[in-house]
Chains A and B, each alone.
Chain A
Amino acid sequence: MKFKKVCACVLAASMVMSLAACGSAAEETAPAAETTAAAAEDTADEAAAETPAAETTAAADESGYPDYSGVTIRFAWWGSQPRHDATIKVIEQYEALTGLNIEYEYYDFSGYFTQLDTLVAADDVWDVFQMGNNWATYYDAIEPLNEYIDGGAIDTSNINAPLMQVTQDYDGNQMGISLGTNCRCIAYNPALFEEAGVPEPTDNWTWDDFANACLQIHEKTGAYGMDKLEYFTLLGSYCTQMGEGYNFFSMDGSDFSFNDDTSAIAQMFDTFAELEAAGAVADPGVQAEIVDEQADYICTGESAMLLIPSNKFVALNEAVQDGIELKLALLPRLYADGQSGMLVRSSQMLCMSAASEQKEAAASFMDYMINSTEANEILNGERGVPINTTVREDLASKSDEITAEVYEFIDKVSSIEDTANTTNAEPDAQTELSQVLQQYFEAMFAGDYASGQECADAFYEEAKTIFASYQ
């Protein structure tokens, strides 16, 4: 009898626990489901409202948008919620203007590329799709745009030539059109610097200054110096900053370009292993928990710095708690009087699928995304600073303080002369190298290597093998 009671108790108790677990699972998913449902309703409502809107705009605007009624193209991109919302609005606007039917899909970064890979294998890629600087991997699936630019379907008269070149291959094929430019930068919380009594970053601060700031801030305030690390950016910066002509990848991405000199990489491993050991940088477990900028400890004032692409600065400012003010700084240098390792580049671009059957309509939509002021007022430079001069001026004149800060920052980086020495290449091997680099960092943190030099040499050995496997 007693046993039964115990039994019943144990069963009931453990059931409560599993129910609790179920409950939290349900909570976790429920809001997401609601939002999707709400989003679906939204689109349905807008779709319903679309027809009259289309008529009015068509009547009001006779400035020659082509009529694509009955034509359907597919368009996909990756990003976060604000980007999805803005892009969908622009799509609906363009549908109303031309009658074109655009079927859109959006993903997070890794989901996007998994989907793209399967579509490439099936030769069924979206007509228009967003692409990063890793376009070399998808070279055969991309239709060069030269024909459409020469034919006038895509207007580039307001775009400076260097900004077109950032998305060309070495033979001058226009692989895509940049949706905006950005550069890597450090967003930092000046209040934490002040509290710890460390000077704020200057335009030529060094990695030693950076490490010192991290350690001081962690010691005095308990906050992380920088919680999440972007390992591959660190690697690229250290290599480029070794001296003029140095880079991790050569300018055309066909080889390494640091004269087999791993000393800077060794210094990088040493510095960050010290910071991680001191707790000034988050351990790999905490880093893995930070899925995006919105989840970063910088938003709660528990971390002082974050390495981000400049176009994310606006969204980051929206995600921080009230009262936290952020500023932008250049990446630290290896030598205060040395190379900056900075580069303004295309943050992402629009590509046309080589397999597309509606290339003309696709080109027309791409033209709208790049050149229309109305469209870009909605997109608001979230993908990067627009490359069309008119659009850029229009946005700059209407921008708030934070957006203006990003524009200023990009201007500042553009004016640094040595940016011409920094490579923009992202060869095929980069994804794997980047993953393996993270493993070396984590091995270094776990104490598998006695010194940074040992770790750097082991990494370079493996990097060479990996790089060769892609040739």
Chain B
Amino acid sequence: MAKTMNKSAETSGRSSFSKFMNNDNTVGYIFAAPFIIGFLAFTLIPMCISFYYSFTNYKITKAPTWAGLNNYITLLGDEHFWNSIKVTFEYVLFGVPSKLIAALLIAMLLTHAKRMQGFYRAVYYIPSLIGGSVAVALVWKQMFSSTGPIVSMIQALGAEDFNFFGSTQYAFIPLVIGNAWQFGSSMLIFAAGLKQIPKDYYESAMIDGAGAVKRFFSITLPCLSPIILFNLIMQLISGFMTFTSAFIITEGGPNEATNYISLYIYNNAFSYHKMGYACALSWVMLVIITVVTLVVFKTSNKWVFYESEQ
């Protein structure tokens, strides 16, 4: 009798536990746990701390002291900061479109290729996997260096003293090209988008005598515009955060021509030990990225075309 009671108690215990475990929410949270823990530990908590530090005078080697709005006031009068904003915008202006155009171009070529499509797609994705690494940045540095193959070719064409990284005007070009080369993820998204465009549109356009260019601008671009919006925003955000190539290849030079804001933040934090100021800079950067993203969203209803709204 006692045994049976025990058993029933156990079963009811187990069943409430298994009920808990089988609850949809529990399962959801457990599956999401790696992300939740990572998000808390490496994103949310550091963000809160950095918000606090941005109001302090914090040199890494000494304890922080409260500084009120001082960091934000200093920042307004900091020429290096304004310069970094300027060059970052320049980089985004050239870097993002060139990457998106490269991605779209390759995606369109790939949809036409009949054989080994999967293979090509995988191969073209490789640069996106390795492209952000230090090793690749070093390779770009070699390729575009004053004795590298590309500068040698340009010099052979007549520009004798030409040198990318010695010129304040052209130093950013290799960085933009290196960035455009990592078009893989945008390309995959474009490729998926291109497949969604119904073939009938093209067929009827061809019957009406529309050429390839006309078809591209009147069918492909409008139908793809939601995808373009998505890619544009993703690339804008990553463009504003560009760091590795400037850090490894140009070190911000020459004459601050590639001293992008994330590099300036890094230098303030880890070279000059002005952690408080660096935190203030990164919050300003967050605001700037948010505003730009919002502007793009707000203007999107002027050029993004959703088929469902027809």
Instruction: Return chain B residues, CB-CB under 8 Å to A283.
Output: 163, 166, 254
CB neighbours (8 Å) of B126 from chain A are 18, 22
Please choose the segment from B135-143, B216-224, B230-238, B291-299 that sits at the chain A interface, where 4 or more of its residues have CB less than 8 A away.
B135-143
Measured between alpha carbons, how far is A22 from B168 in the docked complex, in Å? 29
B55 at the interface (CB under 8 A from A): no
Residue of A8, A289, A442 with highest tally of chain B CB at under 10 A: A289
Tell me whether A121 and B60 are in contact in the complex, defined as CB-CB below 8 angstroms, given that A4-B114, A21-B139 are known contacts. yes
| CB proximity to A under 8 Å, residues B232-266 | 250-251, 253-256
Q: A114's closest neighbor in chain B, by CB? A: B270
Q: Nearest Cβ in chain A — how far from B80, in angstroms?
A: 8
Q: Is the CB of A18 within 8 A of B60?
A: no
Known A-B contacts A25-B130, A284-B165; A442 and B253 likewise in contact (beta carbons under 8 Å) = yes
Pairwise interchain contact A117-B60, C-beta atoms closer than 8 A: yes
Which of A11, A28, A279 counts the most B-chain CB atoms under 10 A from its CB?
A: A11
Q: Does B215 have its Cβ within 8 Å of any Cβ on chain A?
A: no
A446 and B168 form a contact (CB under 8 A): yes
Stretch at the interface among A76-84, A258-266, A326-334, A427-435: A427-435
Partner of B61, one of A21, A29, A137, A442: A137
Residues of A within 8 A of B106 (CB): 14
Question: Contacts A285-B166, A286-B146, A289-B145: A28 and B139 contacting too (C-beta < 8 A)?
Answer: yes
In angstroms, Cα B145 to Cα A114, docked, is: 27
User: Of B80, B139, B273, which one neighbours A25 at CB under 8 angstroms?
Assistant: B139
CB distance from B260 to the nearest CB of A (A): 14
Interface residues of A in 78-133 (CB under 8 A from B): 110, 113-114, 117-118, 120-121
| A117 and B171 form a contact (CB under 8 A) | no
Which residues of A lie under 8 Å from residue B120 when comparing CB positions? 11, 15
Q: A138-B61, A431-B271 are in contact. Are A288 and B165 (CB under 8 A)?
A: yes
Most buried by A among B135, B139, B166: B166
Evaluate contact between A141 and B255: CB separation under 8 angstroms.
Answer: no
Report the nearest A residue to B161, measured CB to CB: A279
Q: A7, B135: Cβ atoms under 8 Å? A: no
User: Do B135 and A29 touch (CB < 8 A)?
Assistant: yes
Closest Cβ of chain A to B16, distance in Å, is 44
Q: How large is the interface on B (under 10, 10 to 19, 20 to 34, 35 or more residues)?
A: 35 or more
Contact B61 A448 (CB under 8 A): no
Quick one: given A4-B114, A28-B138, are A284 and B272 in contact (CB under 8 Å)?
Answer: no
Cβ B168 vs Cβ A10 within 8 A: no
Our count of residue pairs bridging A and B at CB distance below 8 angstroms stands at 122
Chain B stretch 77-131: residues in CB contact (< 8 A) with chain A: 80, 106, 109-110, 112-115, 120, 123-124, 126-127, 130
Q: Is B161 in contact with A140, judged by CB distance below 8 angstroms? A: no
Q: B171, A285: Cβ atoms under 8 Å?
A: yes
Once A18-B127, A29-B135, A284-B166 are accepted as A-B contacts, the answer to whether A439 and B255 lie under 8 Å apart by CB is: yes
Q: In the complex, what residues of A have CB within 8 A of residue B267's CB? A: 435
**Which of B109, B124, B135 has a CB less than 8 Å from the CB of A18?**
B124
A438 interfacial by beta-carbon distance below 8 Å:
yes
Most buried by B among A14, A139, A141: A14
Whether B172 is near chain A, meaning CB under 8 Å from some CB there, is no
Q: Which residues from A are CB-within-8-Å of B164? A: 285
Identity of the chain A residue whose Cβ is nearest the Cβ of B147 in the assembled complex: A289
B290 contacts across to A, CB distance below 8 A: none
Contact A446 B60 (CB under 8 A): no
Distance of A139 Cα from B62 Cα, bound (Å) = 10
- B124 cross-chain contacts in A, Cβ below 8 A: 15, 18
| A268-309 to B contact mask, C-beta < 8 Å, 1/0 | 000000000001000111101100000000000000000000
Are A285 and B163 in contact, CB atoms less than 8 angstroms apart? yes
How many whole Å from B182's CB to the nearest CB in chain A? 11
Q: Does B15 contact A (CB under 8 A)?
A: no
Instruction: With CB as the reference atom, state the residue of chain A lying closest to B119.
Output: A15
Residues of A within 8 A of B115 (CB): 8
Do A121 and B271 touch across chains, with their CB atoms under 8 A apart? no
CB distance from B179 to the nearest CB of A (A): 14
* Chain B, residue nearest A29 (CB): B135
Q: A289 — which chain B residues lie within 8 A by C-beta?
A: 141, 145-147, 165
A451 CB–B CB distance under 8 Å: no
What's the minimum C-beta distance from B167 to chain A, rounded to whole angstroms?
7
* CB-defined contacts of B251 to chain A, threshold 8 Å: 288
Which chain B residue lies CB-closest to A24? B139
**Interface: A170 (CB within 8 A):** no
Are A431 and B167 within 8 A (Cβ)? Answer: no
Complex: A443 Cα to B130 Cα, angstroms: 34
Question: Contacts A18-B127, A137-B61 known; A7 to B146 CB distance under 8 Å?
Answer: no
Query: Taking the complex as formed, is A313 at the interface, i.e. its CB lies under 8 A from any CB of chain B?
Result: no
Do A7 and B109 touch across chains, with their CB atoms under 8 A apart? yes
Contacts of A193 in B (CB 8 A): none
Cα–Cα distance between A25 and B181 once the two chains are bound (Å): 14
Closest-CB distance, B109 to chain A (whole angstroms): 6
Question: How far apart are B131's CB and chain A's nearest CB, in angstroms?
Answer: 10
The answer for the CA separation of A10 and B110 in the assembled complex, in Å, is 11
How far, in angstroms, from A439 to B274 measured CA to CA in the complex? 19
The 8 A CB mask of B169-190 against A (1 = contact, 0 = none) is 0010000000001000000000
Whether A431 lies near B272 (C-beta < 8 A) is: yes
A contact residues around B61 at 8 Å (CB): 117, 120-121, 137-141
Q: Which residues of B contact A (CB under 8 A)?
A: 59-62, 74, 80, 106, 109-110, 112-115, 120, 123-124, 126-127, 130, 135-136, 138-139, 141-143, 145-147, 161, 163-168, 171, 181, 250-251, 253-256, 267, 270-274
Query: What 7 A-B pairs are tightest by C-beta distance, nearest first?
Result: A285-B166, A285-B165, A283-B166, A284-B254, A442-B255, A432-B272, A442-B254
**Could you jot down 9 A-B contacts, CB within 8 Å?**
A28-B139, A118-B60, A140-B62, A284-B255, A285-B163, A289-B145, A435-B267, A435-B272, A436-B80
- A residues with a Cβ closer than 8 A to B are 3-4, 7-8, 10-11, 14-15, 18-19, 21-22, 24-25, 28-29, 110, 113-114, 117-118, 120-121, 137-141, 279, 283-286, 288-289, 428, 431-432, 435-436, 438-439, 442-443, 445-446, 448, 469
